[in-house]
Amino acid sequence: MEPTRDGSDDRVQTLQRGDKGPEVTELQLRLRQLSLYMGNDDGKYDNQVEEAVRRYQWARGITADEQGVYGGATRTSLESETTEP
């Protein structure tokens, strides 16, 4: 599979507000490991998850992804400093 023009891999799922499912639950659990998210682990990408992702991106200087959106750069960084739930 070819990388996209921003260098990310098409196989990496981008998550954003309104998304639901097990990938969102994993994101919530990873953010919880860093004490950035204290909401329910319900698999819903809501305002709380979006704000936690935004805070994480700001703290790590991540600008390759839209703020509050869990894209390739944010995923790579977060997965490198947390354990798989």
Residue range(s) defining the domain that contains residue 37: 25-74
Q: Which two tokens stand for residue 49?
A: 């998850």
> At 15, phi and psi to the nearest 5?
-115, 145
Please count the structural domains in the chain.
1
* Residue 11 belongs to some domain of the structure: no
Q: For 15-57, what is each residue's pLDDT tens digit?
A: 999 999 999 999 999 999 999 999 999 999 999 999 999 999 9
* Residue 6 belongs to some domain of the structure: no
* Residue 3 belongs to some domain of the structure: no
CB 43 within 8 A of CB 24: yes
* Residue 46 belongs to some domain of the structure: yes
* Residue 41 belongs to some domain of the structure: yes
CB 36 within 8 A of CB 48: no
CB 52 within 8 A of CB 31: yes
Mean pLDDT along residues 54-75: 98
